[in-house]
Amino acid sequence: GAGVSQTPSNKVTEKGKYVELRCDPISGHTALYWYRQSLGQGPEFLIYFQGTGAADDSGLPNDRFFAVRPEGSVSTLKIQRTERGDSAVYLCASSFGQNTGELFFGEGSRLTVL
Amino acid sequence: DQQVKQNSPSLSVQEGRISILNCDYTNSMFDYFLWYKKYPAEGPTFLISISSIKDKNEDGRFTVFLNKSAKHLSLHIVPSQPGDSAVYFCAASAGGSNYKLTFGKGTLLTVNP
């Protein structure tokens, strides 16, 4: 399809394990974003990429979280030593670089840490 | 602390009537406001936005009103349709950083046929 694609759609892991979540943005979108939505909450900003570089990573909660976008397209969110509090839906979005706030979100990756 | 508050977790409206969804914010630096709609098992989709230099923006059946002095905005849907049933999120940003949105918790709108 032409939308933002996220894999896996569901991931169940054990506390302490390492997890990678992948995002394929809409073709031609230069900006890519990661948000996290915990149960009963709205999405919460994590990181913003413009091209290959992280323009703003101020939302990453701690150094266990890291994201890359090496070729300016696909991005991977990496979580080390997962904790139960990391359980959430991780949303990826992309946009043309106009900074209008009109983000195109994927369906999300639901992470459950047991 | 919640900088964007949607105090009504849910709202039920009859088809054809007006739906009014409310949102309050506390951060006076916010200068751009948006509404997103979310269906189950889908990502949020952009609906409408408003800059702080305006007090109203209209797009078809959807109108957003902004009251800066009260730090309040509302989304009006007229007429409401069953397909409008979804969770509506209010979001805000500051200083041109419109990629960094602060979202409310959302309001579940149910439009009954």
What does the pLDDT look like over B66-83, one tens digit per residue? 999 999 999 999 999 999
Partner B contacted by A25 (CB < 8 A): no
> Could you tell me which residues come within 8 angstroms of residue B5 by beta carbon, excluding any fewer than 6 positions away?
B23, B24, B25, B26, B104, B105
Distances from the Cα of B6 to the Cα of A4, B24, B60, B89, B107, angstroms? 27, 7, 23, 8, 7
Strand partners, A95: A31
Partner B contacted by A65 (CB < 8 A): no
Using one digit for the tens of pLDDT, what is the confidence trace for B38-64?
999 899 999 999 999 999 999 999 999
The alpha carbon of residue A84 and the mean position of all alpha carbons in its chain are separated, in whole angstroms, by: 18
Report which secondary-structure segment, H or E, holds B75: strand B72-77
**Which residue's structure tokens are 């007429």?**
B79
Q: Is B3 helix (H, G, I), strand (E, B) or coil?
A: coil
Nearest to A107 among B32, B42, B97 (CB): B42
Per-residue pLDDT, B15: 98
- For chains A and B, CB pairs below 8 A equal 68
